[in-house]
Structure 1
């Protein structure tokens, strides 16, 4: 049987959702976008794959962010128990969530108590309400059901999450085989995870005071997950404007237009994986900073999912040090000027032969005009990429 890998590049608005499928009927699912991504795109694909006898050998949620995580929560709510899946079998899940991080933190665990005082409970409910009001879903306010933690759902429905890892966390150095897929974790390392732990502690101090109290209940972990999503929301900067020209654009004008903003703590703790199959090497970056792990990366990849929907800064070290045959940019362009013009210029100048977009972005016409001059091919609205 011919070996091949199909990369399903799903439209996820401003988010990420990828599924890798091989001829053995094994799949790796990386992020699930929003709830609408799951309902409109991912669920129909999973139902078709399941009908063909496929299963999810590994599901990776790279980090805590609504545009990666919401669809995963919706999937588990529909799929229910792992031993009797309603959509598709899921064998393993990787996710560095608040429950896993907090359960390893002596600093945070020292604040755990059996029951909150009435004043503490009132403060907690007040802050939780504020968080949910800021975190409106696509169809209105977040419900109590939707605020349930992804990790709590994994345990409720008995999924294997971070099985066999030291301290129960996914970190650099892990390498495993899944039905022919070799998956190697490049990031986060221990120092990034410890920084994430300190960040959670500092935000709890900010919300509840230095002597804050915690209870180890499912609702609280749901609150923490949503709090981190609110805190990690991108701050929309000033508009960079649009380059308007009837002739071929000059990409020199795109250089220097990025604010070069660094990724926040939640994004930097993204799980970054190198996946090999049938001689092909792929890289999925989540929303990470490539400078955090570039020394552990390979020098050449057949396919790379660029970080953070086409933001310049987190991809700079990658594009400066690694040869890529194909890059994927996941965004509909609705948030934060994604993809940034400077990132597009850097990709083109790097001599990458093929650039894939899952939407017809605003810069489509300009990019199309540049193809012949810079000898690359741009593919817009791509849904499947086949490596064989």
Structure 2
């Protein structure tokens, strides 16, 4: 793209975060305002620190939910005494009491069991909740950027605090990590037929059975006519219900420029009901596609292809922060016939353009 041809008012940088998420959203006349959305794994911190070294100063940091693949880099950020953070920096996080410092962390001076809220307090910060109250618009403004909150609802956060403790969440994280040792990506198998997927799509988890992900902060970010739907690892039924309450239906769709697909493209977090309420042809999937989950799932892509396009004449563009092996996802024929385009990117400039 010719940098002189278009004036960018918003930029999304997409860090490598393993099976997690980490984004830097910048906006303004000179992209002078920045928000960090999740911190990925600990190794993601090298990208975060590089941005700080280049002069980026965060106005806010959003930790979407208590998942160690979303917060590893932020633990390292808080521990790095060489990094100066603005006094007015706002940390958005709903349940800091449910996060302990990782036991295997190389964070000097942080022992397992230390709560995230203690680390914040050490740097003179406190966590600010982002919870969707019933019958409220929940719209925030930050230096001209509008944030419209979609989830989580208060009842989800209350249930999370009732059912989980920090130690239990950390044990779950350790168990999942230990199961990864020695695992390799599954060999290419016969792809499930598109017709079969559409006739028998995957079922989403009930939100009470997946509280950690269902408590994700999901929102729409808008600035000067550009908009991004950030779904984190949210539950598709809860998001569909919220969009319905806001008046978005199959006939009156939410129009956005980009959808950050929920839960790294898991087949349990994207549904027909959700996609039919959205008008978009560009989707972002954050994952390294490694075992054991091997996200994204083919089922998610087929649903996006069928229900998530603005028009049959407009191609679906799938952006990723790692190059993907498409052999387990779509056939070459499907890519041609259904107008799928996959692009590995490190950043996106808004307004988005086709050239």
Alignment-derived partner of residue 225 in structure 2: 279
Q: After TM superposition, give the deviation of residue 13 of structure 1 in Å.
A: 0.7
Structure 2 counterpart of 1:378 = 342
What's 2:38 paired with? 31
Per the alignment, residue 257 of structure 2 pairs with 302
Q: Check the 8 A contact 2:57/2:85 in 1, yes or no.
A: no
Deviation string 1:182-214 (CA, Å, 9 cap, x unpaired) is: 0121111121122112213xxxxxxxxxxxxxx
The answer on whether the counterparts of 1:275 and 1:283 sit within 8 Å (CA) in structure 2 is yes
Q: TM-score, normalised by structure 1?
A: 0.71
Residue 259 of structure 1: how far off its partner (Å)? 7.0
Q: Please tell me whether the aligned partners of residues 280 and 387 of structure 1 are also in contact (alpha carbons under 8 angstroms).
A: yes
2:145 to 168, 173, 181: 181
Query: 1:170 offset after TM fit, Å?
Result: 3.3
Match of 1:124 in 2: none
User: 188-197 or 366-375, which moves further after superposition?
Assistant: 366-375
In 2, Cα distance between the equivalents of 1:89 and 1:328? 32
Q: Is the 8 A contact 1:91 1:160 kept in 2?
A: no
Change (3 A) 1:43 1:178: same
Are 1:192 and 2:194 matched, yes or no?
Answer: no
- Cα separation, partners in 2 of 1:253 and 1:193, compared to 1, 3 Å: same
Looking at structure 2, the residues matched to 340 and 142 of structure 1 have their Cα atoms a distance apart, in angstroms, of 37
The Cα of 1:262 is off from its aligned counterpart by 5.0
Aligned counterpart, 1:77: 79
Summarize deviations over 1:95-149 as a string: whole Å, max 9, x none. Answer: 01243x89xxxxxxxxxxxxxxxxxxxxxxxxxxxx99xx66477x998535422
Q: 1: distance between equivalents of 2:96 and 2:86?
A: 26
Larger gyration radius, structure 1 or structure 2: 1
1:347 counterpart residue number = 304
**CA-to-aligned-CA distance 1:65-86 (integer Å, 9 cap, x gap):** 1100111111111157xxxx53
Kindly tell me: are residues 138 and 154 of structure 1, through their superposed partners in 2, closer, same or farther at Cα, counting changes over 3 Å? closer
Flag the 1:288–1:366 CA change in 2: closer, same or farther, 3 A: closer
Q: State the alpha-carbon separation in 2 of the partners of residues 372 and 89 from structure 1.
A: 51
SS at match of 2:300: helix
Note if contact 1:11-1:17 (Cα within 8 Å) is conserved in structure 2.
yes
- Paired residue for 1:95, among 88, 93, 96? 93
Tell whether the 8 Å contact from 2:91 to 2:125 is kept in structure 1 after alignment. Answer: yes
TM-score, normalising length: structure 2: 0.77
Which runs of 5 or more structure 1 residues have no equivalent in the other structure?
Answer: 103-130, 163-167, 201-223
Q: Report if the CA contact (8 A) 1:301-1:324 is conserved.
A: yes
Q: Distance in 2 between matches of 1:374 and 1:26?
A: 38
Count of residue pairs the alignment pairs up: 315
Residue-by-residue CA offset, 1:335-365 (whole Å, 9 max, x unaligned):
3121111112112223542111111223268
Residue in structure 2 matched with residue 315 of structure 1 by the alignment = 270
- Map Cα deviations across residues 132-186 of structure 1 (whole Å, 9 max, x no partner): 9xx66477x9985354222211122112531xxxxx5533443211112101211
| 1:324 Cα deviation from its structure 2 partner | 2.0
Partner of 2:21: 16
